[in-house]
Amino acid sequence: MHRNETLFYVFGIGLAVSAVVFSFLGLKVKGFPGRAFPAVVAWFAILIIGATTFSVLHAQDEEKAKAAETEKANEEFEADDADIQAEEAAEEEEAEEKGQPSEGGGAEAGGEAAAGSGGTLQLAADPAAIAYDTTELTSKPGKVTIDFDNPAPLEHDVVVEDEAGDELARSEIVTESETSAEADLAAGSYTFFCSIPGHREAGMEGTLTVK
């Protein structure tokens, strides 16, 4: 128990006890308090002032304690968040060392580096329809980059997935701008499409042949 809290209870209890005692004396002793009236008034004034003062100080102590607890909780939350981020970074680094694809970046088909020169392919969105300008792309094995141009005000992107439906590359979503998607691809057949809801279903997809 803090000092201010202890003194608050001391003065409060003293005030309550004094009120009972002096009330009893007033009923039992004729002429009480008589000449002692100034002393009685002073006594109650001291108790009231003390109880009020230490009540305020005790409330301030509680506010400081709550603020300290809140700050400690925030520090613990930040520390936990930092640990989680460190674990995620370590997992991503481990995945990269093992040759596994990480989220949001280029991927290697089958988890292995694709040998070959690869190439850079050009793809554009139709400015007047939900469609690409071609549904067939061809590249050599290796690092394949799809440079995507969207001249339309409608949002589009380009995503590449393998025959198993695993995502290997994804560009940013753009409007009236250009972006690209990149992946290391082995020989095989892949699908490219727009991930905006409803666009692939409307026919905005095609085949990427690597050979």
Structure tokens at 19: 């009120």
Which of 62, 97, 132 is the C-terminal boundary of a domain? 97
Distance of alpha carbon 63 from alpha carbon 56, whole angstroms = 11
Same domain, 42 and 67: yes
The answer to whether 194 and 170 have CB atoms below 8 angstroms apart is no
Question: Does any domain span residue 104?
Answer: no
Q: Is the domain of 63 the same as that of 87? A: yes
The per-residue pLDDT for range 106-148, each reduced to its tens digit, is 444 444 445 678 899 999 999 999 999 999 999 999 999 999 9
* 135 and 193 housed in the same domain: yes
Q: Distance between CA 107 and CA 143 in Å, rounded?
A: 10
Residue with tokens 């004729």, as numbered in its chain: 30
pLDDT digits (tens, 9 = 90+) for 13-60: 888 888 888 788 777 777 777 777 888 888 888 888 887 887 888 788
**Residue 103 belongs to some domain of the structure:** no
Q: Is the pTM above the cut of 0.75?
A: no
Residue 58 · residue 8 · CB < 8 Å? yes
Return the CATH number at 187.
2.60.40.420
Q: Strand 119-124 relative to strand 142-150: parallel, antiparallel, unpaired?
A: parallel
Q: Are 158 and 148 in contact (CB under 8 A)?
A: yes
pLDDT digits (tens, 9 = 90+) for 142-190: 999 999 999 999 999 999 999 999 999 999 999 999 999 999 999 999 9
d(CA 44, CA 118): 94
CA distance 77 to 72: 9
Same-domain check for residues 59 and 142 = no
In which domain, by residue range, is 85 found?
Answer: 3-97
Tell me, what amino acid is at 195?
Answer: S
| Per-residue confidence (pLDDT) for residue 102, from 0 to 100 | 42
Element (H, E) at 124: strand 119-124
Domain boundary among 97, 123, 143: 97
